[in-house]
Amino acid sequence: MSMYKALPLAALVAASLAGAAFAADDTKNGLGARPGLGRPITDAEIKAWDITVLPDGTNLPPGSGTAATGAKVYIDKGCNQCHGEGATGGSNPALITDQKMTPGDIFSNKTIKNFWANSTTIFDYIRRAMPWPAPRTLTDDEVYALTAYILAGNKLIEENAVMDAKTLPQVKMPNRDNFILRFPERI
């Protein structure tokens, strides 16, 4: 029979609660020094991974871009190979399109314009995931420019509007208010 089975439940609970205190200094409970593996992660290392941009623009980096620059970056970085000329199609999702969703049809095509709730998601998505063969290779200026290009093409901003950490979160996506929040208390 194991030692734990022989202990009454109350003792087990007390032992596991006390375990939290032991863990801080293993030399005091007779377990000896820790093996000394690993090291605390540095702030710089966390920062490199902590790139999530929130709907209100929190975590957007410095930098800016316009649709005109974005049109150039779009070709230079080969986005057209998969998203088509002018971002209107190709073998992968059309980034600029007026395609509508069919109400009640769960399979109807969801596009950036007809579905995405937040403009800042476009920046976040491109920065972390595109171009598909080489994610995280774009500069923040290039990502702002590509975001402006997609927003202007979808007629959600003026052609010459500058997108940056201040202006981008102010762009209201058409479908933003049509989502049901599953956990409103977490917002």
Q: What letter represents residue 151's amino acid?
A: L
The distance of closest approach from Cβ of residue 122 to ligand HEC in the complex, given in angstroms and rounded to an integer, is 6
Which CB atom, from 22 or from 132, has the smaller least distance to ligand HEC?
132
Could you tell me which of 2, 143, 170, 117 has the C-alpha nearest to residue 61?
143
Q: Which residues contact 181 (CB under 8 A, 6 or more apart)?
A: 187
The distance of closest approach from Cβ of residue 181 to ligand HEC in the complex, given in angstroms and rounded to an integer, is 21
**Tokens coding 174:** 């058409």
Which CB atom, from 62 or from 133, has the smaller least distance to ligand HEC?
133
The CA distance from 126 to 115, in Å, is: 17
**Tokens coding 143:** 């990502």
Residue with token string 């509508």: 100
Dihedral over alpha carbons 53, 65, 47, 118 (to 10 degrees):
0
Which CB atom, from 59 or from 81, has the smaller least distance to ligand HEC?
81
Which CB atom, from 95 or from 171, has the smaller least distance to ligand HEC?
95
Which CB atom, from 60 or from 126, has the smaller least distance to ligand HEC?
126
Contact 119, 108 (CB under 8 A): no
Contacts with ligand HEC by CB under 6 A lie at 77-79, 81-83, 92-93, 95, 111-112, 122, 125-126, 130-133, 146
From residue 12, alpha-carbon distances to 8, 19, 24 in Å are: 7, 10, 19
The distance of closest approach from Cβ of residue 38 to ligand HEC in the complex, given in angstroms and rounded to an integer, is 33
The distance of closest approach from Cβ of residue 126 to ligand HEC in the complex, given in angstroms and rounded to an integer, is 5
The distance of closest approach from Cβ of residue 119 to ligand HEC in the complex, given in angstroms and rounded to an integer, is 12
